[in-house]
Homo-oligomer: A and B are copies of this chain.
Amino acid sequence: MSVIVDLSIFPMDKQGTGLSPYVARVLDVIGQSGLDHRLGPMGTAIEGEWEEVMQVVDRCYRALEEDCGRIYLSLKADIRRDRTNGLDGKVASVREKCV
């Protein structure tokens, strides 16, 4: 199965410092995984097998857990048999059908 996850995770107890340092830390973890991904304004899309993707989600959580007292995580996944190159493929498939 090809799993595409859109992941947002951020601390809720760090308002003074802004969230981008924490999101950058999470993006570094995602980058180290080697999985194909796309950073967007509201979350990062990650593609891989189920175990791979969930392992990255776990590492993202652990990267924040150490110094954050409250964390919010939002995740949606589209899981499909026999799909390849889903990150670019889904976008291209929509664009070619637009007026």
Contact = CB atoms under 8 A, between A and B. Distances in A.
Given A24-B94, A76-B74, A45 B42 contact: yes
Contacts of A72: 72, 76-79
| Interface SS of chain A | mixed
A97 B20 contact: yes
Nearest to A24: B97
A35 B69 CA distance: 22
Given A39-B94, A39-B95, A73-B77, 6 more contacts: A41-B91, A42-B43, A43-B76, A70-B78, A72-B76, A75-B77
> 3 tightest CB-CB pairs across the interface, nearest first?
A24-B97, A6-B42, A73-B77
